[in-house]
Chains A and B, each alone.
Chain A
Amino acid sequence: MPNQEAAVVDGTTLELRIANDLEEVSGLIEAVEAFCEEQGAPPKVSYQLCLVIDEIVTNIISYAYEDEGRHEILLRFDARGGGLSGTIEDDGKPFNPLTDSAAPDLDADIDDRPIGGLGVFFLKSFMDSVGYERDGGLNRLSFAKTLVPATAGNEA
């Protein structure tokens, strides 16, 4: 994975940094897929997460920055506690995909790269919870999916 800074794998967590370069997305998705497999996530969940990350990160790289400079996007994943959760952080312009994106119209002509579009649609469809915060100069998108259904005895 050229240009991709060291992935930190610590048992059940993964941290990845990539530059704002569309060529890094493919390698990023493969790393996310490998992590999901290592953690025993079902193929359906792995695929759904990859679609979400693929689209969200592509949108960040394409639209978040108003300069031509190099920026980093930080992704963290956590597979503890019977779920899969994570965050995506960028230092681009303030943008809350949950409120600032248009809903996709699957019937309409589709632009090559609509802002929001499928990414947020997938995010809301596939994840059990999603969140956004603006923290200092960072956009931080968070998401979580439960993998293990609650059964009597392990509910909080």
Chain B
Amino acid sequence: MELHEESVGPVLVLTPKGRVDSATSKSFEEKVMGLINGGTSTLLVDFGSLDYISSAGLRVLLMAAKKLKSSQGKFAISTMPDHIREVFEISGFATVLAIHPDRQTGLSALGA
């Protein structure tokens, strides 16, 4: 899994490419939490290049959202493939994680 990072205005956009599964979720966690602990307060995770994300990966996102929320930061996800979005909706994650249909909407929502 590659993790592409770029800043767009105040927003840090993280684009994981490939698979976040049990082989890669630890490094995904380290990267995401490292960014937040290092001061990133507005984070958009773009799912547009994601082939698969395991529940370990979803937990990382829940952790990130909670951490940012408690420090008045902002977190959102964009460009979710339909099959992943349906899982988010069924499992109730959509009520705790902000999801936007595309990157631009996500960026606007986060203040870019």
B55-91 near A? 1/0 per residue, CB < 8 Å: 1101100110010000000000000011110110011
B40-61 near A? 1/0 per residue, CB < 8 Å: 0000000000001011101100
* A118 and B59 contact, CB distance less than 8 A: yes
Count chain B residues whose beta carbon lies closer than 8 angstroms to a beta carbon of A. 26
A106's partner among B24, B83, B86, B96 (CB-CB below 8 A) is B96
B104 interface residue per 8 A CB criterion: no
* B83 and A22 contact, CB distance less than 8 A: no
A101 interface residue per 8 A CB criterion: no
* B87 and A26 contact, CB distance less than 8 A: no
Please name all residues of chain A whose beta carbon is closer than 8 Å to the beta carbon of B84 when the two chains form the complex: 47
Main secondary structure of the interface of A (DSSP, over half): helix
Interface size class on chain A is 20 to 34
* B54 and A22 contact, CB distance less than 8 A: no
| The stretch of A8-16, A119-127, A134-142 that contacts the partner chain | A119-127
Chain B residues in the interface with A (C-beta under 8 A): 19, 21-24, 52, 54-56, 58-59, 62-63, 66, 81-84, 86-87, 90-93, 95-96
Chain A residues in the interface with B (C-beta under 8 A): 22-23, 25-26, 29, 33, 42-44, 46-48, 50-51, 54-55, 58, 106-107, 109-110, 112, 118-119, 121-122, 125-126
Given contacts A44-B82, A51-B55, A54-B56, 15 further A-B pairs with CB under 8 A are A26-B19, A26-B21, A26-B23, A26-B24, A33-B52, A42-B83, A43-B82, A44-B87, A51-B54, A51-B87, A118-B55, A118-B58, A118-B91, A122-B55, A126-B90
